Amino acid sequence: MQRILNYINGQFTEPESRAYLDNYNPATGEVYSLIPDSDAADVALAVQAAKAAFPSWSSLSREERSQHMLNVAKRISERLDELAEAESTDNGKPLWLAKKVDIPRATDNFKFFATAILHDSSELHDTDGLYLNYTLRQPIGVAGCISPWNLPLYLFTWKIAPALASGNTVVAKPSEITPMSAYLLSQICDEVGFPKGVLNIVHGLGAKVGSAITEHPEVPIISFTGGTETGKTIARTAAPMFKKLSLELGGKNPNIIFDDCDMENALKTSLNSSFANQGQICLCGSRMYIQRGIYNEFKTRFVEEVKRMKVGNPQSPDVKLGAVVSKPHFEKILSYIELAKEEGGTVLCGGKPVEAGMNGWFIEPTVIEGLTETCRTNQEEIFGPVVTLQPFDTEEEVLAYANGTKYGLASTVWTNDLTKAHRIAAHLHTGIVWVNCWLVRDLRTPFGGVKNSGVGREGGWEALRFFTEPKNVCIPLS
Ligand code: TXE
């Protein structure tokens, strides 16, 4: 069986413990590879390597750093098919989706930040002609990057690329549930001669490897994407050490559909925003609020379309939904569907596991109505192919529903009234608002949430600024 290895100081290494964890294919329910069960000893070696590589990497010219990163981007594109296959096997997502979205985005992440640093600039403040203050933005040191399983390579590179581009070295940990594409990325770094020790990848459990990275005194900056509870644990560890922290956490995103919307577009996009990647995207809309005038028509048409969505073998080009990522996650999603029924919800379609002839963890896309906005089903992140529908009458009412959770990541608004769109967008308590579209991701825009959805912003200059420390230099003019 294939064994994944850590990548430390440019070497493929076994974990110090020599212990391995099982890695499952969620479509078959079978173990298909082994991953290092690393611990603090491996993290210590990775930090040591990253620290040693920092002076040379941070003093390279921007063009040189950029070129190293572009080499990686190019090789990711060249190995697209293999990476997509690995991602689909590891995660359960449809192969076509990994080919179309996940892997190309990993290339784009490297390209985007590799070229962004060539166009960077900083501020200068003239103090009444007496002094000049300029802002130097310098790399920080060893950055810790911890990423989740839902968009494995996409989110791993979304953190690593800006950290590296701005001159830091990195110790990174992919999710233990989906480690394969990160392992292939380490092979790519090796193939293109990426400088040793600049990017180190340590595999293993969050409670061992993730916490060792967070606790390490020589890792002053942490970028994390994952569950809100894990985010709290990381924040508790990082706070007394005064680490710089970016946390991208869960969501319970509202999808608000006004009766003056373009119904065809709202219907088509809402199918995607509800069920893309089996609903396992932090940006998926999980609470659909539909204005009463079109509620019945929208509901009928939406449910008809959902019933037609094919669930099954991630390798088939015609499946819309593959497997959910793991057995515990499968059980969690099903338990939320049971909870919704107990809370008085009516399942309009779906709600059950799908056989798919593969023994894996498949769930029907599920639509539920008849719940209150305050019940647990509508308050807690399910992170699966489950959405609820609820009618509303007024703008004030729907804003109260939309803003009435502890989360605040993204929201979607459907209306053809431009003034209303601006008004609603301004009043939504979320870091991202999409009007008449969903998941349009311009990499330059600030990305992140408010409330329990996280702290800080990723993307564009926000990310480059996060991964650097601003220093004010003041010089008298006379
Ligand atoms: O994520 P975890 P889980 C949500 C979603 C999901 C829930 C839990 O609701 O059901 O979170 O998912 C590492 N110190 N999201 O438990 O554990 C872990 O190894 C440092 C939303 O799978 O947060 C992995 O690499 N690191 C989310 C990463 O954290 C630790 C995407 C994320 O795993 C750690 C995924 C620790 N103590 C889940 N414990 C999104 N925002 O997109 C774990 N990790």
Q: Where are the chain's structural domains?
A: 2-249+453-476, 253-442
Which helix H or strand E contains 217, and what residues bound it?
none
pLDDT value at residue 74 = 98
Residue with tokens 């000893």: 41
Ligand 1, atom 8, lies closest to the CA of 227
pLDDT digits (tens, 9 = 90+) for 362-395: 999 999 999 999 999 999 999 999 999 999 999 9
DSSP bridge partners of 225: 248
| 2-249+453-476 against 253-442: fold identical | no
144 Cβ closer than 6 Å to some ligand 1 atom: no
381 Cβ closer than 6 Å to some ligand 1 atom: yes
Report d(CA 305, CA 317) in Å as an integer.
18
233 Cβ closer than 6 Å to some ligand 1 atom: yes
Distance 217 CA to ligand 1 centre (A): 22
Distance 83 CA to ligand 1 centre (A): 22
| Pairing of β 11-13 and β 6-8 | antiparallel
b/e map 105-119, b = 16+ CB within 10 Å: bbbbbbbbbbebbee
| Pairing of β 124-127 and β 131-139 | antiparallel
Distance 206 CA to ligand 1 centre (A): 8
For residue 49, give the 3-state DSSP assignment: helix
pLDDT along the chain (478 residues), means of 10: 97 98 98 98 99 98 98 98 98 98 98 97 96 98 98 98 98 98 98 98 98 98 98 98 98 98 98 98 98 98 98 97 98 98 98 95 98 98 98 98 98 98 98 98 97 96 97 97
DSSP bridge partners of 472: 135
230 Cβ closer than 6 Å to some ligand 1 atom: yes
Distance 435 CA to ligand 1 centre (A): 29
Domain 253-442 fold = Aldehyde Dehydrogenase; Chain A, domain 2 (3.40.309)
pTM recorded for the entire structure: 0.97
pLDDT value at residue 156 = 98
Quick one: which atom of ligand 1 is closest to the CA of 230? 23
Angle between helices 180-191 and 103-116 (to 10 degrees): 50
| φ, ψ at 194 (rounded to 5°) | -60, 135
CATH architecture of 2-249+453-476: 3-Layer(aba) Sandwich (3.40)
DSSP bridge partners of 257: 290, 414
CB distance 413 to 262 below 8 Å: no
CB distance 220 to 140 below 8 Å: yes
Q: Where are the alpha helices (DSSP H) in 30-151?
A: 40-59, 62-78, 80-91, 95-97, 103-116
- Which of 387, 472, 394, 376 shows the shortest CA–CA distance to 438? 387
The burial class, CB within 10 Å (0-12 / 13-18 / 19+), for 475 is exposed
Tell me how far CA of residue 37 lies from CA of 4, 90, 211, 244, 328, in angstroms.
Answer: 10, 17, 13, 27, 19
pLDDT value at residue 170 = 99
